[in-house]
Structure 1
């Protein structure tokens, strides 16, 4: 019986092939405009950063957070723009870098010497036909870049610049970056003193008096003598008290707004005058 079934099936296939009909196998139904693709392995690599420096064995900081010593591989890091600071303590460089997603971003950082804070270094003699810059800044100890190349910290004298336009960038933590184009003239050294604006997360209170050297109390706490400048995070409210021997004590309220500076000026009244309260 089984042999008869096999013989019958074989006969049917032979007749189909003899008639020229095609035999197709079943395929799953797919949505329109979609074809079945072979499964492929995910070949994407993690986002990472590789940092070298000259000299090596320098400390690496990403957004002011310590990450290791050069040469350094950071195997898992979020893509985007970050602040990179590399320093040995006597040499350093700071720059912003963009980390690409699913790639290894490599960067080599040459370091330059750090001058003592608030002390201007002795610049090399000027080359004839070149120009220079004498830079101070508010705040001091800010990072200086010329045409994207790190030069040092303020106060700083830079010489040997080719005459013409150069991009000047000055940056400091908690301050907005200052950027402008300076025009260098041959055989001249220009003085330049940019003032950086605080980032929006900080506010500033400036207090001055006539006469000066008055005691300043904020919310019952002694802060120093006028003229006085204090920086605080965010928005703030203060009870301000100004005291000076021979003059009437002055008390008032003041507030600060993030990203802005609140200026306060007061002329004291001698003790034979009337007290003032606002």
Structure 2
């Protein structure tokens, strides 16, 4: 089968238009940032996104690094673990220049003994015989903690780490012999950002690629009739 060059170009252009379309909203999450004081600059992975208070949507799932900056104040550098369809809330308190500021904090987990603990989907350790585990000197911001133990339902909860402070999660896991508990991760927040922000891009899904190929083939068929 012979396809003329113009027809092939049309097919490629249609495929590219489909492939570079924004990420599906259901596959992305959001972060809401309310700083004290307000009107602070917000940067995500080094890119300026607006001023606080702000909700930034269409972020790819996973760990996202955030910086909040304001003149005469020390930079607040932290993280937020983005979950699809949910909004993570951050309330950074900016310290004035020249004051003591600790850029890490701690997380204490209290649950069953010998439970596996994940931080942002990464293994960090197992609770001791008293059911405790300390995650020391961790980044500021919102972290997703997962607790797992054989014979029990796994549990997930966000905890926020503040400068020089210790956050805690106390959870008694539910045995598998009982009804499955409702998902504890945050529900979607439908508020939109007051400042328009460009969407984060991710790799196109296989279905989008297939749709692009089909569209290119249809375009080629139409052009051959003329």
Q: Could you say which TM-score interval applies, normalised by the shorter chain?
A: 0.3 to 0.5
Higher normalized contact order (CA 8 Å, seq sep 6+, divided by chain length): 2
TM-score (norm 2): 0.33
Pick the structure with more strand per residue: 1
TM-score by length of 1: 0.27
Structure with the greater alpha carbon radius of gyration: 1
